[in-house]
């Protein structure tokens, strides 16, 4: 796929994930629109939505990612209680599963 085509598709998926996460977290930042592949071809981030959680010294980050763990949107930093409340709302209102593998986050 051509770079600009893949980027345009990926950006649309990132905006959708960002809007989704904003609904529950109050804020959300865009993340990665393209995924890395070994064939050196451009691919947009995946269409599916999963959630992931990252724990750091500052608290918890909630991530919306694709099936490969490529972050499309993220919101940070939450206390454990806030994180649990946000995840509970997401899970109760949508059939979104947790991604438990290694997340690819923007550097």
Of 47, 63, 43, the closest CA to residue 106 belongs to: 63
- Residue 27 pLDDT exceeds 80: yes
Contact by Cβ (8 Å): 20, 65: no
47-92: per-residue pLDDT in tens?
999 999 999 999 999 999 999 999 999 999 999 999 999 999 999 9
SS3 88: helix
Q: Phi, psi (5° rounding) for residue 50?
A: -130, 160
Report the predicted TM-score, pTM, of the whole model to 2 decimal places: 0.93
9-23: per-residue pLDDT in tens?
999 999 999 999 999
């Amino acid at each position: 796929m051509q770079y600009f085509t893949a980027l345009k598709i990926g950006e649309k998926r990132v905006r959708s994930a960002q809007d989704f996460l904003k609904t529950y977290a109050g804020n959300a930042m865009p993340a990665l629109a393209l995924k890395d592949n070994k064939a050196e071809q451009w691919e947009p981030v995946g269409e599916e939505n999963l959630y992931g959680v990252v724990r750091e010294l500052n608290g918890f980050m909630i991530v919306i990612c694709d099936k490969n763990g490529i972050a499309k949107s993220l919101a940070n930093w939450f206390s454990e209680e806030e994180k649990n409340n946000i995840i509970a709302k997401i899970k109760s209102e949508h059939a979104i599963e947790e991604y438990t593998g290694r997340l690819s986050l923007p550097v």
